[in-house]
Structure 1
């Protein structure tokens, strides 16, 4: 089973289950952002959470095997070569669909404003290596029907 087939199978089972990503992640024991990203093919899972996800969604072992396969974190984008900016593109490339899924569940169909928006960049000291903390805060803008 390919990662694309895996994602399609998981998304269909998720829809049938009526469960959201947070509820699924609580049952599996992983964070919702990471688990969603793995289900969308951008990360892999260890055997235990992969099997647990399949149990929660009623999926077979071929899905678990595909979840455990290493991802090819590739997307069709032209990105800058500056290492810091490239890493931000990589974050969006790897987690963008995950962010869209979770924002959709929490707010509905819409976007985050980049006009009514703020961003903070902080440093978190950590004995394992200092951390960059980027907080983006944008107004939710629902799509309008007419």
Structure 2
């Protein structure tokens, strides 16, 4: 089974069981964002997590093998059409250079790791309309000279 077939199998099982990413992440001891990313094929799971996830969703063990396989982290380079994904793309387009400048001013010449990284999505209730709080937490990796 490849990552694409795994993704379809897991998302269908999630829908069939009517579970949220919070439910599944809690059941397997992982964050909901990481759990969703693994199910979408962008992260690999260790043996225990992969098999526990398959048990929670009631899918065959061959799905666990696909979950444990190392992913190729690639995406379509076209401008996204989904409104939510497009807005995130827009945020990086509008604020990307600003964020780079501010981060490098505070830390020096380097990047934020997406390997030593965590992400959370929180809902902030507000009478003027609920707010989305995205927390991206990555280790700073300075460029080195040699």
- TM (norm. structure 2) is 0.56
Unaligned runs of 5+ in 1: 92-97, 107-115, 132-146
Q: 1:119 to 1:49 in 2, by over 3 A?
A: closer
Residue ranges of structure 2 left out of the alignment (5+ in a row) = 79-92, 102-110, 124-130, 142-146
Matched residue, 2:18: 18
Superposed displacement of residue 76, structure 1 = 2.1
Q: TM-score, normalised by structure 1?
A: 0.56
Q: Distance in 2 between matches of 1:63 and 1:51?
A: 9
1:12 aligns to what SS in structure 2?
A: helix
**Aligned CA distance change for structure 1 residues 64 and 76 (closer, same or farther; 3 Å):** same
Higher Cα Rg, which structure: 2
User: Per-residue displacement from partner, 1:57-97 (whole Å, max 9, x unpaired)?
Assistant: 1111110000000000011217x9x9x69x78x96xxxxxx
RMSD over aligned Cα atoms: 4.2
**Deviating runs (4+, > 2 A) in structure 1?**
116-122
